[in-house]
Structure 1
């Protein structure tokens, strides 16, 4: 079943984990919205630089360090995702607390591992 996923911190640099996540998510037939600091493209998915409204979002997966997440708090909550995946290095107690208050499940994990083990 496809889970619409917003990748925050998307990059078109093949050495970045967000790049690999976008490729893997699309190869698993998940709809991907990529948001990053600069425009680009990964596997035919454009990287957007604006906080584009979305509906039907299942998952937000983070590839931003905690201090860079702050500007996205309102955007994340406007998306009303079911869960937020905090990939290694993105753990953020403040956002985890706010997510729980909004009824959003925080997941401390790795999108790439979750996809490869069937836990996504």
Structure 2
């Protein structure tokens, strides 16, 4: 069974890292759930407005939104009981990481695409 990842801030713009992450995770065999309140489909995958709209469990969330948006979304991630959260470059803040820890989540501040062993600029 593949790991389920929610890409927070997924995009149809193939130049944006929120799109590159969707493609990278898909390439690595993950079940990818794009999260974007303004899109219905991203890279051929059904997109959801919120992680709370997704049926079934999610193993991890990868953030590609500014910290001020992340500070709202992290509450939904905790409510959905997504244990692992990745704050990619530009999505992190000290307050957001502290809030994730307070909510008993496991925050990782790093580029999730690089952690997959891929070059995000080559996608």
What does 1:26-41 align with in structure 2 at a 5 Å threshold?
A: 26-41=26-41
Cα distance change of structure 1 residues 54 and 70 upon mapping to structure 2, 3 Å threshold: farther
**Could you list the runs of 5+ residues in structure 1 that have no partner in the other structure?**
none
Confirm or deny: 8 A CA contact 2:86 2:110 kept in the other structure. Answer: yes
**What SS does the aligned partner of 2:33 have?**
strand
Confirm or deny: 8 A CA contact 1:84 1:104 kept in the other structure. Answer: yes
**What SS does the aligned partner of 1:57 have?**
coil
Q: Which residue of 1 aligns with 2:43?
A: 43
For residues 40 and 55 of structure 2, what CA distance do their matches in structure 1 show? 19
**What SS does the aligned partner of 2:76 have?**
helix
**What SS does the aligned partner of 1:77 have?**
helix
Cα distance change of structure 1 residues 67 and 109 upon mapping to structure 2, 3 Å threshold: same
For residues 14 and 40 of structure 2, what CA distance do their matches in structure 1 show? 12
For residues 15 and 87 of structure 2, what CA distance do their matches in structure 1 show? 19
For residues 116 and 88 of structure 1, what CA distance do their matches in structure 2 show? 16
Query: Is 2:76 the partner of 1:67?
Result: no
**What SS does the aligned partner of 1:56 have?**
coil
Q: Which residue of 2 aligns with 1:105?
A: 106
Count of residue pairs the alignment pairs up: 117
For residues 22 and 61 of structure 1, what CA distance do their matches in structure 2 show? 10
TM-score, length-scaled by structure 1: 0.85
TM-score, length-scaled by structure 2: 0.83
RMSD across aligned positions (CA): 1.8
